[in-house]
Amino acid sequence: MKGKKILVTGAGGFIGHHLVKYLKKKDYWVRGVDIKHPEFESSEADEFELLDLRQEANAFKAAGGVEQVYNLAANMGGIGFIETHKAEIVRDNILISLHMLEAAKQNKVSKFFYTSSACIYPGYKQDSPNVTPLKEEDAYPADAEDGYGWEKLYTERACRHYQEDYGLPTYTVRFHNIYGPLGTYDGGREKSPAAICRKVALAKKEDQIEVWGDGNQTRSYCYIDDCVEGIYRLMQSDYHQPLNLGRDRMVTINQLVDIVTNISGKKITKRYDLTKPQGVRGRNSDNTKLRNVLKWEPKTSLEEGLVHTYKWIKGQLKV
């Protein structure tokens, strides 16, 4: 039903900003909330409020008068950031999530959406580059990514408890490496596709770039347009268990570099730094449940998505 009033927290961030644009195209009234405005272009939200959701009063203010809450607000970044800011991430994100759940409950919103992560999956299932795709039920017995992964897994449980005890309908996705234009590409919080696009864009016609680890670690990547469509489709469903949201095509970091290099038209060689954080050895999404629940799955190929991402980052670096 169009015209509903929707709150998007984290609307100043990468995914939140794209989600606001998506919802506006569907004629929803949207309030965006974040501690910062979007970095690269103005928000299309009907209202945009700068609020620190670590403060409970701000969470209640944000959720006032809306029918649905898409809670994307979080302190996070790429592997370099989450490996070195564990206490900060755990403190900030649990405060934000619990305040928003309580505000949604007390404001009697009809739907609450939470963004979890593939980082909740056990390390013991991700110790080989040839990893078996991760199914939703693989989350337990738990051995989540230290810090960030554990707070995500805990909040998944909190969402479940708020639904079971208070009747608040909650929806949860586990993101698998979302990338695309308008995302952070430098400063330490960027994810691997953006970091590699930046390094290649800054490189000379024939040059060498640094790769974290040996380049044989594996991941799957999901383009931002598919991500926001998947979020919306889940919110129109009656499915309330955590659901993977990602592509199920696994590539090595070396292959990712080669795809970006091919897009750039440059001749790039790799210099490996084994001292840098590289996360789990392998990670891929099992999309069986995603296809069954949503009758849909992400469509954008990695090559197509990286063309858009590389061109945008290259343009930003020229500016």
Interacting residues of 274 by C-beta distance below 8 A, sequence separation 6+ = 213, 214
Q: State both tokens at 177.
A: 């490496």
Contact present, 53 and 100 (Cβ < 8 Å): yes
* CA separation, residue 114 to residues 1, 173, 174, 186 (Å): 21, 7, 9, 26
* CA separation, residue 94 to residues 70, 119, 217, 234, 302 (Å): 16, 15, 30, 23, 32
Contact present, 293 and 235 (Cβ < 8 Å): no
Contact present, 235 and 171 (Cβ < 8 Å): yes
Cα gap 120→242, rounded to integer Å = 11
Query: 3-state DSSP call for residue 171?
Result: strand
Alpha-helix residue ranges (DSSP H) falling in 136-223: 148-166, 192-202
Q: State both tokens at 99.
A: 């305040």
Residue holding tokens 């299932």?
125
Query: 3-state DSSP call for residue 94?
Result: helix
Within a 10 A sphere around the Cβ of 215, how many other Cβ atoms? 16
Q: Active site includes 148?
A: yes
DSSP letter for 298, please: -
Q: Which of 148, 162, 179, 223 is catalytic?
A: 148
Cα gap 27→137, rounded to integer Å = 36
Please identify every residue annotated as catalytic: 148
